[in-house]
Chain A
């Protein structure tokens, strides 16, 4: 009997707990327009969205750009449009830029935005050069003069052709009244660190769970945003989260774009395709025999079948890359007349034979002129191992034996910097911006070419568009001819969204800011008439039928202040334990 009672008490407690669990899920608040999105890239945490706190990655910059504005910005067509500056003039020598600032702009805390803030920003970022890790072209800034409250003059040390995009359209303007007392901007986080002029104010940020929440800046000088709240989440599987309604927008990239077919022509969902401005490439070691021979590198290029790579590895959601690095969609800079080294095994073998590589012992593998099998390592990251394996089999047909070595990111980075490799497969973004041509074999550093470097510098300082374009063309030609890298493919990306929540999504031509390919241009959330998107680009890939939800990446954890719920759980557990012990004692 006694025992029965104890059990009853326990059952009761458990019942209460269970009821509260399922009963306690509250309803969502009122008629606010809330849009939730999650990225396709691993993790939801991209750092604290202050100009010095975000992780130096595209998604980090984008999250920061919701709160901070730049002097200029880009619209959907990639045209530079007035932003904090209404208009600007350049001096004839290209070294002096005068900006007329928009009047009546206010910081989130109500203080007025003036020319002094602009001057302060450039001085401050120059002083804390290592803290603003996003882009290192600030060496071109000499000093900034204030003419009046709404006019500034920026003096450059040398003419800098991409100034309007890479500096004026990239450097977030920060409030002097807040940052003037901050000596270590990297460690300055908190409410004050995110006061900008931007369309959204940061409400909450949870590092460990990778969540961000912004509210609309009602007094935004470009008009009130279309959504009241913007939430960025970390989900394990974006396709699934989209289906269940946990998020309203996400994007898919490369072979993961297969998941898009489940949403195409499905009511309640919209899709929009865009280029990713990303390239996968083979980086050669130009200092080590045999990859230091241009002809040898060409033989490898002929031996690689890029069409097959696109078909088999990215399932058609990509295009063979421009051998000159710049993405073909960037009509401004793309050189369409480059050799593409179409797959040709015979030609590859001919070139190798001419270099005295021949298969003397008939085992299907060529020998070095000095003897010994032509065999070396191809180093890559786990995520590109399929590409590497396919290339291994393609080059086997030519008679080159490849051993694929998969390593982690930092190891590969170390190897590239030491120059301890023959071939590495790696990729990067930013190929909408001619700046990327500075080091074509980035992040490697074995291919040095002085004429090329001089040409690059000349291009950067040529203010005439046509003349500059010609130089950019020449740079691409040099890459395609000398092959310090052989580009493989450009993946496509697609954003999938619920139009009833927001349907203004678009991909910015040439990328947001310095070339971020994400569909999160802040104009999407402001929705001015002239920035409404054009009809969707046609999906060029033949989507295979059937549903596929690409299981996607590993989100990042970390902390935030107090979570009172914990105390409750631990307290309840403790109470239960004590109760149990007391009851047990009594029973004895």
Chain B
């Protein structure tokens, strides 16, 4: 019963979001033809006569009544067809998949890293509360973490790419390398991933660390920790098995929420490193009022957020046995 309510809930959310995705872009002033016909601040002015403009509208199906467009859009989604991007002149699904794989790689890697590091460091910090390591970690993580990501990124580029020449300054791959093996390509991708991922890790670790530290401090005060100590268990063991497990609960929710937002929110890092991804795709789509692409991109982001929530729900149950018998 409970499960059915939940699924209905998810379906309802998706439906609402789908309608929002359709109507919101169309409420913004301007239309997709601005880009095609040359818009303010662009290099070459193209003066279109009314006839051509009308033909273009017909070509992209923008002259139909809104209700018809909405119907077509919903029908398309049911068929798995997200439409044709006006700006990129390519199928929306292709564009999204192309950008999404890079974003997932970047966000996935950095989320995994900042999660593990943040949790570990938070736990260590709380365990040694007031000690040198606690104060050291607190001060250093908070001060590095408070750099804006784009600044950190530029700093890294200047230091590691220009001065030390250790890592590439831009892109996700060496352009047109002609790889001799898959392993070589994979390593090239990792090599390009290093700086952007590090930037994201550093700028996100502070939050997880603080939350974990606080949560851990609460747990440490509990009686069962005292009991465990009284039983003569090793400190390391108590920390891992008794304290950390219980302190992890609030973190799960936080990470689930963040992952969703990071899909579209890495635009600063993507820009600084000229790294392909959904953030910049979305930015262009908004700028050029590319309705089909906007709809597709928002849909994907919504789905990722919902999926992350769903996973968090599941994981939560695993982590907290108390929830299993509802």
B-binding residues in A (CB < 8 A): 17, 20-26, 29, 36, 41, 43-45, 47-48, 53, 55-59, 61, 129-130, 133-136, 186-187, 189, 203-204, 206-211, 213, 231, 233-237, 240-241, 243-244, 246, 278, 381, 383-384, 408-416, 424, 426-430, 436, 438-439, 442-443, 514-517, 551, 554-560, 563-569, 572
**Are the CB atoms of A515 and B44 closer together than 8 Å?**
yes
The answer to whether residues A130 and B52 also contact, given A135-B46, A430-B45, A442-B47 and a CB cut-off of 8 A, is: yes
**Are the CB atoms of B280 and A555 closer together than 8 Å?**
yes
Q: B80 on the interface (CB 8 Å rule)?
A: no
CA–CA, A207 and B105, complex, Å: 18
Q: Name the contact of A384 in the complex, choosing from B41, B286, B289 (C-beta under 8 A).
A: B41
Please tell me the size bucket of the interface on B.
35 or more
**Are the CB atoms of A568 and B38 closer together than 8 Å?**
no
Stretch in B89-97, B204-212, B253-261 with 4+ CB within 8 Å of A: B89-97
Stretch in B3-11, B154-162, B243-251, B309-317 with 4+ CB within 8 Å of A: B154-162
Closest to A238 in B: B170
**Are the CB atoms of B43 and A569 closer together than 8 Å?**
no
Q: B88 on the interface (CB 8 Å rule)?
A: yes
The answer to whether residues A426 and B274 also contact, given A24-B188, A558-B99, A559-B90 and a CB cut-off of 8 A, is: no
Chain A proximity mask over B24-56: 1 for CB below 8 Å, otherwise 0: 000011110011111111111111110010011
State how many angstroms separate the Cβ of A345 from the closest Cβ of chain B: 29
Chain B residues with CB under 8 A of A559: 90, 94-99
State how many angstroms separate the Cβ of A495 from the closest Cβ of chain B: 16
**Can you offer 21 A-B residue contacts whose CB atoms are under 8 A?**
A24-B187, A24-B191, A25-B191, A36-B175, A45-B88, A47-B88, A48-B89, A130-B55, A136-B52, A189-B89, A203-B176, A237-B170, A409-B30, A410-B29, A428-B45, A442-B45, A516-B44, A555-B271, A557-B277, A558-B94, A559-B98
Q: B272 on the interface (CB 8 Å rule)?
A: yes
**Are the CB atoms of B187 and A438 closer together than 8 Å?**
no
**Are the CB atoms of B185 and A565 closer together than 8 Å?**
yes
Closest to B281 in A: A557
Q: B288 on the interface (CB 8 Å rule)?
A: yes
**Are the CB atoms of A439 and B47 closer together than 8 Å?**
yes
**Are the CB atoms of B161 and A244 closer together than 8 Å?**
yes
The answer to whether residues A414 and B34 also contact, given A24-B188, A240-B162 and a CB cut-off of 8 A, is: yes
**Are the CB atoms of A569 and B287 closer together than 8 Å?**
no
State how many angstroms separate the Cβ of A74 from the closest Cβ of chain B: 15
Chain B residues with CB under 8 A of A129: 52, 55
For window 40-80 of B, CB contacts with A under 8 Å fall at 40-49, 52, 55-56, 59
Chain B residues with CB under 8 A of A381: 40-41
CA–CA, A17 and B186, complex, Å: 10
**Are the CB atoms of B38 and A428 closer together than 8 Å?**
yes
**Are the CB atoms of B169 and A409 closer together than 8 Å?**
no
**Are the CB atoms of B29 and A414 closer together than 8 Å?**
yes
The answer to whether residues A236 and B30 also contact, given A246-B170, A410-B39 and a CB cut-off of 8 A, is: no
Q: Name the contact of B34 in the complex, choosing from A36, A208, A409, A439 (C-beta under 8 A).
A: A409
Q: B179 on the interface (CB 8 Å rule)?
A: yes
**Are the CB atoms of A209 and B172 closer together than 8 Å?**
yes
